[in-house]
Amino acid sequence: MNFSSKLLENAVEEFSKLPGVGKKTALRLVLHLLKSTSAEVHQFSNSLTTLKDNIKYCEKCHNISDEVICEICSAPKRDNSIICVVEDTRDVMAIENTHQFQGLYHVLNGLISPMDGVGPGDLTIESLVKRVQHEDVQEVIFALSANMEGDTTIFYLHKKLKDFNIKISTIARGIAFGGEIEYADEITLGRSIATRVPYENTLIR
């Protein structure tokens, strides 16, 4: 691409570093911002630097937070005895949206992935072990992606936690609601038969 302006090229270069944003999309986005008022552009870019400079991570669950201890961890009504282990803040938001979980979270900030150079030390695993040791935890639920990285992480976490006297569970895998059996992949279908549940249990809610 031949840009008519070095400044334009710089901005496009920066935007195209974002995941899933190519040069053409970056140019479209930058030209859109260029049509906004100066105040709007400054607001846009301030929102990012303010976020980066002032963001905190909850000292207990490591979720993104404006306070030292996040809203969920400090809520008096939540069940302190259950910890749901997730990869990042998006998973917390997704589970919170279901309104089905009243316990606390633990955000790993990634999954073990030797291919990407992410080892157990890069995640908040030690802090999870400490929580199980020192807090009144009775159950840990793994809500991690059903892929190689997720399975590896669960395997590792299970080894670390299995000697504590707690219940360890993972979220159910199976055919999604609205999903058609004939289109389901074999692994999911196979597992959903192997881990079938008594019909009466499905009538709850």
CA angle in degrees (0–180, nearest 5) for 188-189-193: 115
Does residue 164 interact with a copy of itself by CB under 8 A?
no
Task: Compute φ and ψ for 3, nearest 5 degrees.
Answer: -90, 145
Does residue 196 interact with a copy of itself by CB under 8 A?
no
Does residue 195 interact with a copy of itself by CB under 8 A?
no
For a copy of itself (CB under 8 A), the number of binding residues is 59
- For the bound state, the minimum distance from the C-beta of residue 162 to a copy of itself, rounded and expressed in Å, comes to 30
22, 45, 164, 193: residue in contact with a copy of itself (rule CB under 8 A): 45
Question: Looking at beta carbons only, is 41 or 193 nearer to a copy of itself?
Answer: 41
57, exposed or middle or buried, with CB in 10 Å at 0-12, 13-18, 19+? Answer: middle
> Reduced to 3 states, what is the DSSP secondary structure of residue 153?
helix
Does residue 93 interact with a copy of itself by CB under 8 A?
yes
Does residue 96 interact with a copy of itself by CB under 8 A?
yes
Question: Looking at beta carbons only, is 19 or 178 nearer to a copy of itself?
Answer: 19
- For the bound state, the minimum distance from the C-beta of residue 70 to a copy of itself, rounded and expressed in Å, comes to 6
- For the bound state, the minimum distance from the C-beta of residue 203 to a copy of itself, rounded and expressed in Å, comes to 29
| Cα separation, 175 vs 89, whole angstroms | 25
Does residue 136 interact with a copy of itself by CB under 8 A?
no
Residue span binding a copy of itself (CB under 8 A) among the ranges 85-93, 120-128, 164-172, 173-181: 85-93
Query: 70: how many CB neighbours lie within 10 A of its CB?
Result: 24
Q: Identify the CA nearest to 127 among candidates 98, 104, 147, 102.
A: 104
| Cα separation, 48 vs 166, whole angstroms | 41
Does residue 201 interact with a copy of itself by CB under 8 A?
no
Tell me the one-letter amino acid at 104. Answer: L
E strand map for the chain: 56-57, 64-65, 79-86, 103-107, 139-142, 167-170
* Chain residues that interact with a copy of itself, rule: CB under 8 A: 1-8, 10-11, 13-15, 17-21, 25, 27-34, 38, 41-56, 58, 63-66, 70-72, 88-90, 92-93, 96-97
